[in-house]
Chain A
Amino acid sequence: MSGIRLENVFKAYGDATVVRDLSLTIPQGEFFTLLGPSGSGKTTTLSIIAGFTMADRGRVFINGRDATRAEPRERGLGMVFQNYAIFPHLNVFENVAFPLTVKKVPKVEIAKRVADALEMVKLTGFERRYARQLSGGQQQRVALARAIVAHPPIVLMDEPLGALDKNLRYHMQMEIKEISTRLGMTVVYVTHDQEEALTMSDRIAIMNGGVIAQMGPPREVYERPQSAFVAKFLGEADLIRVERQSGCLVGPGSLPVRAGEDNGSLQKGQLFLRPEKVTLCDPGTGEAGCTLRGKVHQVAFLGNVIRFEVELEDGTIILSDVANAAGIKNFPVGAAVDVTWLPEHARLLED
């Protein structure tokens, strides 16, 4: 069996538990992302997979073999490090060749594979340069080429794009994704950038406080978060306090609300909506059961989207993102509006 499997991995530094009984399975060929705020345990988890950190308890399987106690060099992983970790005393060729030279691969073979790797990251012709002579993006490509040159089945990436500016970052996301798909690599990717995670991953594990808060494909975790934390971490979220009165959910202004997949078990909670699923209409025109009343608090022009901030009767602020398309209806600040949505877009979350 290939891929990675963690079983009840636990790691603490003194009193501080960093990873708490974490188990996960990453099948061969998957682009898997560990997403979370700093201190959530995602980097430690990656480090345990890489072998730089030893877990206190639990086991690590790599390609079916128990690698819990194996040295990093015995694990046969490719790695892209935060800040790239390019050797400053070696040029691009020597850097990329490093994983092959230490394995005593014949020179001719090295030359060929380094050339291939550099071509793949579009750095052909930069062989003799040193790190300080390269731009951030080029350094990133060197790091990438070095991670894949030995054709490792698994590549670990620790916030590899953190130091790049936004445009370049998007560009590199696409390239990394393309290369990993082309080579059929298993990628374990660590980031704190939710957009990056959503763009690239086959599956995302959102970590918080050393445990996985939720794990699933990007669309699922984005649209069907199981907690307010996941909802808020993956982009903007509207959360409305609701409670159940005689079987029905009631929101601010004692208006009834409905949510998809509500089995009636929760007595109170938060109604979750993505801002792009929330629409505004003139007062009194919203459909009962999925409408709340409020007034426009602020309007922000974001280019492709116009963002309305609506204050509900209990003071809750609701965001509504409206595509900046032809025929868009404008609501001035202070205008009374109805806030509506489709019931299947709303989810009831625990507090």
Chain B
Amino acid sequence: MKGTIGQSKVSRRNFLVGAGTLLAAPYVLKGKALAAGQVVVRTPGGAYDDIMRKFVYDPFTAETGIQVVPVAATVSKLLAMFKANNVEIDLIDTGEGPLITLSRMGALAPIEYDKWTWSRPEDVAPEYRRPDTVANFVYSSVLAFNTETFPGDNHPKNWVDFWDAEKFPGPRMLTDMAAGSPSLEFALLAAGVKKEDLYPIDIDRAFKMLTELRPHIRKFWDSGAVSAQLLSDKEVVMGCIWNGRLQTIIEKGAPLNYVWDGNMIQVQALGIFKDSPNRAAAQRLVDFMTQPDVQAKYVAALRYGPTNLKAFDHISADLLEMMPGGPKSRELGFVQNTEWWEDNRDKVNRVWSRWILG
């Protein structure tokens, strides 16, 4: 069984789309070439890898001689690896949610905070630290809008406005279940719930709010790329979107802007497989990545926010303004409760499916 398990889903899916099961072979072979002096990191891939290589992986290799190998893997693949006792990845860089799932399964090794040399654990904000995970950046879902449709000050300023299709007409977008979680928090804010009282989420109430707005929603997006496309093509005139994606298209000249009011801060974190072949090296990379000046560089490049509060010292004032998890973002927004979502995602998924098809 060993060796075929990690790609079981991949081959099934490939069969379904007819692309041929052979495509899965590289996944089986790749993980085997692990040598001493390496850390294999699961990353979101794409441009993320380039930035991390420049500001983290290469400097880390220069200092320690340890090579960093980024690989792509879905959450289910990580689960399958663990269940099949065939761990081929050392460090997991992913949303906090999946890491909590893995943590609850006992898949993760404790973060060795006491052995840190580059970073000081107490500099990392306490809500970003767990015994076996540590956040490496935060990002924010914000309310964005088209400045041509809503020029000057006449634009939606919060989620109550977003739900008001008479005052602010035009097609909108929110997240799909497939993006990880549908926009239940925003629905409740629109219903007048205070941000301190969002959790535990009143699922029925949130879906009632979604039903109300549904005729005006062109698309529930399930990936960052789609959300950016919808906004920049003016397919929708407002919607929730990850701030990093939004900044990128604004800088390319899209007539868009956003408000911090009701922004939802979400956490990306690191975790180490307890059975991983290069645990020690992975612990060192976590330590290295959390340094204030290193973190300041990569979060600035990614348009995300730091978790080491000392990193703010290395960030310019105007950049601080637009930084998720920065002073303004924390004041007007809230941190998504990942634990609640881990407890309730299955249930929300079922309600969502019924709602979507109903």
Q: Do chains A and B touch in the complex (CB under 8 A)?
A: no
